[in-house]
Amino acid sequence: MGGAVSAGEDNDELIDNLKEAQYIRSDLVEHAFRAIDRADYYLEEFRDSAYKDLAWRHGNIHLSAPCIYSEVMEALDLQPGLSFLNLGSGTGYLSTMVGLILGPFGVNHGVELHEDVMEYAYQKLDFFIKTNDSFDRFEFCEPSFVVGNCLEIVLESRQYDRVYCGAGVQREHEDYMKKLLKIGGILVLPLEEKLTKITRTGYNTWETRKIIAVSFAPLVLPKHRENGKPRAVSLPAMFEVRSLQDLARISIRHILKKSGSGSLPLPRRNGLKRRNHLKLRREHRDTPLLTNSYLFMSRLIPGPMDNNNNQSSTDNEDEDEDCRRVCEQLEENERRNEGSVLVIETPVNLLRERILSLPLPEPLKMYLLYYREK
């Protein structure tokens, strides 16, 4: 499902479009989306489709549309130190973004039905930790995944601050999902074709809010064993005892990030590239909304009625004149720069540079870097 916003040429432009359409509304969520390239979670032969606002499926591997993940992240109201459970954790894309907000002392668990998908998620997680510079800009809560049916969790064993279910839930399973939630916690799930936010306000009291219309594949019902009993899904430990060595690494990295000029800068967009696509985006909004086979109800904002044809024509001429001036200016800049050498500044990973400059043995430096490749 999806198709609510225009496609981007890269991950940043996709996020720009989601912000413009008000699917991404908070800085925390925006930073998490920009930190992780959606295309990294696609198979190589399908990367060209990564920046479209559409769901993607290949075999058991599945990603929801970016507009859906945006609404989910905003509805979860994530904060550092919370516990999170992802039911149907899939590729780990959502869980990894959540981990960037939860920080090193949060809890980040996922339950995935298919073992091959869980293995794929761990491969993508390892790739993110070892190669993505965003890992050093955040304090990360690494997700842990287990294989099993989310309807077979032992309910008495665990409750979480935030829970998300990535499969369609019917009314008969609503109470089951609610029992996974702590008092004050938030549950986000597709409930009877509506993405729904449920807040537990007391032991037996709840607040429910419908967000948008969606269409998800339904939950897969458990297969009972020969004795008639379901298989119990064992969740990862809620609070593992961290080693002193691990805690020291977290503390040292935190201090180095805050030293000097404060926290490390987050990546920012190049404003020129965004202006080059103004006309394209304006034209796109005048075309019919396209979706795939899923049902979607977008939050379109109606434009003003064209009661005066002369006024509409004048507005269009003004827009064309503005675009013509911008194009002429860009062409003039290109002519001036002909023959000059284009110098591209390589982004500097400040945390890495600070760790490498410490008077420590090389193995200890690599430990502080999580053995990450440059």
The span from the CA of 86 to the CA of 92, in Å, is 9
Displacement of CA 304 from its chain's centroid (Å): 33
Query: In 111-243, where does DSSP find H-type helix?
Result: 115-131, 134-137, 174-178
Provide the 10 A C-beta neighbour count for residue 24.
Answer: 25
Active site residue 64: yes
**Token pair for 168:** 């369609």
The span from the CA of 357 to the CA of 252, in Å, is 13
Question: Among 6, 26, 49, 64, which one carries the catalytic annotation?
Answer: 64
Radius of gyration (Cα) for the chain, nearest Å? 24
**CB within 8 Å of 57: residues ≥ 6 apart:** 63
The span from the CA of 39 to the CA of 352, in Å, is 25
Provide the 10 A C-beta neighbour count for residue 224.
Answer: 11
Exposure letters 280-302 (e unless 16+ CB within 10 A, then b): ebeeeeeeeeebeebebebeeee
The span from the CA of 124 to the CA of 139, in Å, is 18
The span from the CA of 241 to the CA of 237, in Å, is 10
Contact 233, 153 (CB under 8 A): yes
Contact 214, 195 (CB under 8 A): yes
**Token pair for 172:** 């008969």
Contact 79, 107 (CB under 8 A): no
The span from the CA of 316 to the CA of 350, in Å, is 47
- Active-site residues: which are they? 64
